[in-house]
Amino acid sequence: MAVCSRVFWACLALALALLLSFTEARDHLVGGKADAWKVPSSEAESLNKWAEKNRFQIGDYLVWKYDSKKDSVLQVTREAYLSCNTTGPIEAHKEGETKLKLDKSGPYYFISGYQPNCEKGEKIIVVVMADRSTRARAGSPALSPALAPASELEAPAVAPTSGASSGLKAGFILVFGVVVSGVIVM
């Protein structure tokens, strides 16, 4: 009986520690609400303002909801983003509900498939931070421009150190969990 509960608590502590370190991947509804993929009403409402306030990490998803009869989402190059060139995008999405995985670090450029809307500001740059485990191990070199793709962009202000501290936090939680389980087993 006692053995059983000790093992149970140890497992529970481990499971919680693991859960905490894996639940960081998130869905980001672009613009923060369902009808946000549209021409912004003001500069303050712009999609890049929203992007600046968010942290995007590898493994996270971007989600768009829009009327597929009127709009679409194009993933494009930096040049096409700047000129609102809707011809020959990297990827075109028109389903009305689009979900994309951010599988590498660096900038992603999206524009409306309806060119006049892009011209009026229906466009967004999302910068995905470098892998947090790499940052946690590498320490300060993560601050170098080579590993901080955000630096080439005007808009998103990403705090480069927060990735490292988040990685360290996850590691600490894991170690703490193991120690706690160890103590319980003894």
Ligand X SMILES: *[C@@H]1O[C@H](CO)[C@@H](O)[C@H](O)[C@H]1NC(C)=O
Residue 64 tokens read as 């768009």
Cβ nearer to ligand X, comparing 115 with 133: 115
Q: How far is the CB of 150 from ligand X (least distance, A)?
A: 25
Hey, which bits of 121-178 come out as E strands? 123-129
CB 17 within 8 A of CB 178: yes
Of 5, 68, 83, 162, which one interacts with ligand X (CB under 6 A)? Answer: 83
Instruction: Write phi, then psi, for 28 (nearest 5 degrees).
Output: -115, 110
For the CB of residue 110, give the shortest distance to ligand X in the complex, in Å: 15
Q: How far apart are CA 113 and CA 31, in angstroms?
A: 17
Q: Is the Cα dihedral 157, 161, 165, 167 positive or negative?
A: positive
Interacting span for ligand X (CB under 6 A) from 48-56, 63-71, 85-93, 103-111: 85-93
- Tell whether residue 82 is a contact of ligand X (CB under 6 A): no
Q: Is 85 in the site for ligand X (CB under 6 A)?
A: yes
Q: Report the nearest approach of ligand X to the CB of residue 88 (Å).
A: 3
Is residue 88 within the footprint of ligand X (CB under 6 A)? Answer: yes
Closest CA to 27 of 97, 100, 76, 93: 100
Binding site for ligand X (CB under 6 A): 80, 83, 85, 87-88
